[in-house]
Chain A
Amino acid sequence: MGAQLRVYKRRIRSVTATKKITKAMEMIAASRIVKAQRQVAASTPYASELTRAVTAVATGSNTKHALTTEVESPVRAAVLLVTSDRGLAGGYSSNAIKAADRLTERLRSEGKDVVTYIIGRKGVAYYGFRERPVVESWTGFTDSPTYADAKKVAGPLIEAVQLDTAEGGVDELHIVFTEFVSMMTQSPVEKRLLPLTLDKAEEDEEAKGKILPLFDFEPSAEDVLDALLPRYVESRIYNALLQSAASEHAARRRAMKSATDNAGELIKSLSRLANAARQAEITQEISEIVGGSSALADANAGSD
Chain B
Amino acid sequence: MAAELHVELVAADRSVWSGEATLVIARTTSGDIGVMPGHQPLLGVLESGPVTIKTADGNVVAAVHGGFISFADDKLSLVAEVAELADEIDVQRAERALERAKSEADAAAERRADVRLRAVTGVH
A residues apposed to B, CB below 8 Å: 39, 42-43, 45-46, 49-50, 52-53, 56-57, 146-147, 151, 212-219, 223-224, 227-228, 231, 234-235, 238
Contact = CB atoms under 8 A, between A and B. Distances in A.
Contact of B77 (A43, A49, A212): A49
A46 B43 contact: no
B28 A45 contact: no
Nearest to B14: A42
Interface string B66-106: 11111011000101010000000000000000000000000
A43 B45 contact: no
A214 B41 contact: yes
Contact of A219 (B13, B29, B41): B29
A208 B12 CA distance: 25
Contact of B44 (A46, A214, A217): A217
Interface in B3-59: 8, 10-15, 28-30, 33, 40-45
Contacts of B77: 49, 52-53
A53 B44 CA distance: 10
Given A218-B33, A227-B68, A45 B15 contact: yes
A15 B28 CA distance: 63
B72 A213 contact: yes
B70 A52 contact: yes
Nearest to B39: A216
B25 to A, nearest CB: 14
A193 to B, nearest CB: 17
Nearest to B15: A45
Nearest to A61: B43
Nearest to A56: B43
Contact of B72 (A50, A146, A215, A219): A215
Given A213-B73, A219-B44, A223-B29, A45 B81 contact: no
Contacts, number: 88
Interface residues of B, number: 27
15 contacts: A45-B8, A49-B10, A49-B70, A50-B79, A52-B70, A53-B77, A147-B13, A151-B81, A213-B41, A213-B73, A215-B43, A217-B42, A219-B45, A227-B29, A231-B79
A217 B69 CA distance: 10
Nearest to B70: A53
Contacts of A151: 81
Residue among B8, B40, B79 with max Cβ neighbours from chain A (10 Å): B79
A216 B30 CA distance: 13
A46 B33 CA distance: 22
B43 A231 contact: no
A277 B73 CA distance: 80
A235 to B, nearest CB: 7
Given A45-B8, A238-B12, 7 more contacts: A46-B13, A52-B70, A53-B68, A146-B13, A147-B13, A215-B41, A234-B81
A64 to B, nearest CB: 17
A223 B11 CA distance: 21
Contacts of A50: 79
Contacts of A53: 43, 68, 70, 77, 79
A225 to B, nearest CB: 10
A212 to B, nearest CB: 8
A42 B72 contact: no
A215 B43 CA distance: 6
